[in-house]
Amino acid sequence: MRAAVFAVATTLLAATAGCLGDEEDAAPAPGDPAFVRSPALDVDNRSAHGQMRSHNAGQNCMHCHQARGPGLGRFTVGVTVLGPDGKPHANPVLELYGAPPGTGAPVLVSLPGDALGNIFSTDPQPFPDQARFVVVRSQDGTLRNQMPFPTESGACNQCHRPGFGVTLKRMM
Ligand code: HEC
Ligand code: HEC
């Protein structure tokens, strides 16, 4: 009797496990705690003017460039900068400040963007412990914009989705 019950239970368990297995055939998605990231991906990866290595403009880079994602390098900053025409603007610059820009506060960090309009870095940043005021500008400084309050995250595109992209404005 005992043995029979055990046998039924085991069969049920096996059936359930089979079902779950079928549903979870796909690899865990980025951000899933079960996502296994190759240590070989944990390398430096920074944008520079003129480069064209990046991709996925407008998407949240940190969806994949993080501890539980497949992207090359764990980004501390990732943003796509658009021009006044709404298209990615080549070679933008991102400046981080500790106090509101324009009040004499010095630039703490200046990050050059690539030819595809993306600015990204794996360098340590104070986020989220410390917030930073941000300015984006064109390489020649004639286009510019800034966030009216400091950000605690360098995952800019997480909030700045299509339709609300980080966009440069003409200064004169
Ligand atoms: C959907 C996932 C995903 C998103 C979103 C994503 N990436 Fe990636 N990225 C990858 C993968 C995967 C690789 C390749 C990793 C490897 O080398 O195996 C990669 C590689 C890169 C590389 C290295 C390319 C090279 O060969 O030198 C750069 C630069 C890069 N991504 C920039 C970005 C930027 C900037 C963003 C946001 C605008 C972004 N990525 C968004 C998945 C993503
Ligand atoms: C948590 C969400 C969030 C994150 C992360 C974020 N922003 Fe913002 N940002 C906002 C919101 C909301 C506004 C709009 C404020 C307002 O009402 O004027 C804004 C406004 C801006 C503006 C001005 C928009 C305009 O045209 O008036 C710029 C430029 C900007 N952000 C750049 C950035 C950059 C660069 C980063 C990453 C370093 C970043 N933001 C990260 C939410 C975010």
CA distance between the termini of the chain: 88
Name the closest-CA residue to atom 1, ligand 2: 159
Say yes or no to pLDDT of 6 above 50. no
Distance of alpha carbon 98 from alpha carbon 107, whole angstroms:
8
Residues 131-155 have pLDDT tens digits of 999 999 999 999 999 999 999 999 9
Distance of alpha carbon 2 from alpha carbon 148, whole angstroms:
70
Distance of alpha carbon 51 from alpha carbon 20, whole angstroms:
44
Say yes or no to pLDDT of 5 above 70. no
CB of 164 closer than 6 angstroms to any ligand 2 atom: no
Say yes or no to pLDDT of 7 above 80. no
Distance of alpha carbon 169 from alpha carbon 83, whole angstroms:
7
Of residues 76, 78, 153, the one with CA closest to residue 118: 78
Report yes or no: 60 and 145 within 8 Å, Cβ to Cβ. Answer: no
Provide the residue type at 29 as one letter.
A
In this prediction, residue 27 carries a pLDDT of 87
CB of 155 closer than 6 angstroms to any ligand 1 atom: no
In this prediction, residue 26 carries a pLDDT of 80
Residues 8-66 have pLDDT tens digits of 444 444 444 444 444 556 889 999 999 999 999 999 999 999 999 999 999 999 999 99
Residues 102-132 have pLDDT tens digits of 899 999 999 999 999 999 999 999 999 999 9
Distance of alpha carbon 169 from alpha carbon 159, whole angstroms:
19
Ligand 2 nearest atom to the CA of residue 96, by list position: 38
- Give the contacts of 152 (CB within 8 A, at least 6 positions apart): 127, 128, 130, 131
pLDDT band at 167 (very low <50, low <70, confident <90, very high): very high
Residues found in the chain: 172
Centroid of ligand 2 to alpha carbon of 133 (angstroms): 10
